[in-house]
């Protein structure tokens, strides 16, 4: 599935540090950065989100997210959910469904500014009726020596 542009698909469980296939990385730092924040750990946090989703593991999904009122989540076709209670309730509902999904991630682009990092990515979802592509943006903040998700926004790509 490698593409001629040099950007190969990244299977949600397949990309790891040291792999010959690495996403392009843009990193912006400023004087407000006290310690260097590692793009690899940002990508690992993003991967943990997809691993938890594929496994329908509520505990693992809970570990990915910050538990605060500032978190937001927009699942494809849903209204925006605000606050940890609403977001976690959505995962209970989604994981309670019998259908399991698999993600093949393409074109992940991580970026870090200060203590905020985000990954834009295309989610190629298997397990849906015909498969579909979802454009997603995952936003993380770095505190307590880890990246915690504070926002997930996903929308179906028309014609996918």
Output the pLDDT for position 140.
98
Residue 6: is its pLDDT beyond 90? no
49 three-state secondary structure: helix
Give CA separation, 12 vs 9, 28, 57, 78, 102, in Å.
Answer: 9, 25, 15, 23, 8
Of the listed ranges 11-15, 43-47, 151-155, the least confidently predicted one is 11-15
Residue 14: is its pLDDT beyond 50? no
Give CA separation, 41 vs 10, 88, 110, in Å.
Answer: 16, 23, 11
Task: Using pLDDT thresholds of 50, 70 and 90, give the confidence band for residue 92.
Answer: very high
Q: Mean pLDDT throughout 7-26?
A: 39
Give the long-range contacts of residues 92-98, CB within 8 A, separation 24 or more: 92/58, 94/56, 95/56, 95/57, 95/58, 95/61
CA 137 to chain centre: 7
CA distance 153 to 134: 10
pLDDT digits (tens, 9 = 90+) for 57-83: 999 999 999 999 999 999 998 999 999
Tell me the residue length of the chain: 160
pLDDT digits (tens, 9 = 90+) for 99-151: 788 999 999 999 999 999 999 999 999 986 678 899 999 999 998 889 999 99
* Mean pLDDT for the chain overall: 81
Task: Output the pTM of the full model.
Answer: 0.76
Closest CA to 117 of 33, 6, 16, 59: 33
């Amino acid at each position: 599935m490698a593409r001629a542009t040099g950007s190969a698909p990244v299977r949600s469980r397949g990309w790891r540090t040291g792999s010959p296939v690495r996403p392009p990385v843009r990193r912006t730092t400023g004087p407000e950065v006290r310690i260097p924040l590692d793009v690899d750990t940002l990508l690992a946090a993003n991967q943990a989100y997809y691993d938890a989703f594929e496994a329908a593991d509520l505990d693992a999904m809970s570990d990915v997210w910050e538990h605060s009122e500032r978190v937001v989540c927009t699942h494809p076709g849903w209204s925006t959910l605000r606050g940890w209670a609403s977001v976690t309730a959505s995962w209970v509902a989604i994981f309670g469904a019998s259908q399991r999904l698999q993600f093949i991630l393409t074109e992940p682009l991580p970026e870090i500014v200060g203590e905020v990092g985000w990954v834009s990515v295309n989610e190629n979802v298997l397990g849906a009726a015909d498969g579909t592509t979802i454009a997603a943006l995952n936003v993380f903040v770095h505190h307590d020596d880890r990246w915690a998700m504070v926002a997930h926004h996903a929308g179906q790509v028309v014609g996918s």
